[in-house]
Amino acid sequence: MQDEPTLTELTKAVADFLRDDIAPQMSGHNAFKLRVAINMLDLVTRHLALGQGSDAAELARLSQLLGKEGSLTELNRLLADQIAKGEVDLKTPGLADHLWQTTMDKLAVDQPNYASYRRELGEQGG
């Protein structure tokens, strides 16, 4: 395993190079395709930086909420089944907070510039 540079640093460096040095020279459909590639690299960079921590936090919340241990996939499936069966709903203690935090964590990776996400961050003081 290599220590430096990290995968996050590598993907960010490639995205920055493409954005700063190559994109200004591009036009038309190739410029569009380059922006798509840069967006993908930015998403991978955020996922590498934030994904593991948000997944661990989501798993901990699910375990506490459901009173069970399991993988993130298993516990999410169990929660979805319980919601579908009406066994839990938004009145269930902790469910609304869990869903909200999970949504915010996913938006931090997928769409950090989404206006509603940015507004909520401001309202949360973050």
Contact yes or no for 98/65 (Cβ under 8 A) = yes
CA distance 29 to 94: 47
Decide: pTM greater than 0.85: no
Could you give the residue ranges of the DSSP H alpha helices within the chain?
A: 7-17, 28-66, 72-84, 95-110, 115-123
Confidence at residue 47, expressed as pLDDT on a 0 to 100 scale: 94
- Token output for 3: 């220590």
Q: Tell me what pLDDT residue 126 has.
A: 54
pLDDT band of residue 122 (cuts 50, 70, 90) is confident
Mean pLDDT confidence for 26-43? 97
**pLDDT tens digit sequence for 97-119:** 999 999 999 999 999 999 999 99
Checking if the pLDDT of 2 tops 90, the result is no
Question: Exposed, middle or buried: residue 79 (CB in 10 Å: 0-12, 13-18, 19+)?
Answer: buried
Average pLDDT (71-89) is 97
**How much is the average pLDDT of 38-63?**
96
Count CA atoms within 13 Å of residue 21 on its CB side: 6
Mean pLDDT of the chain, nearest integer: 94
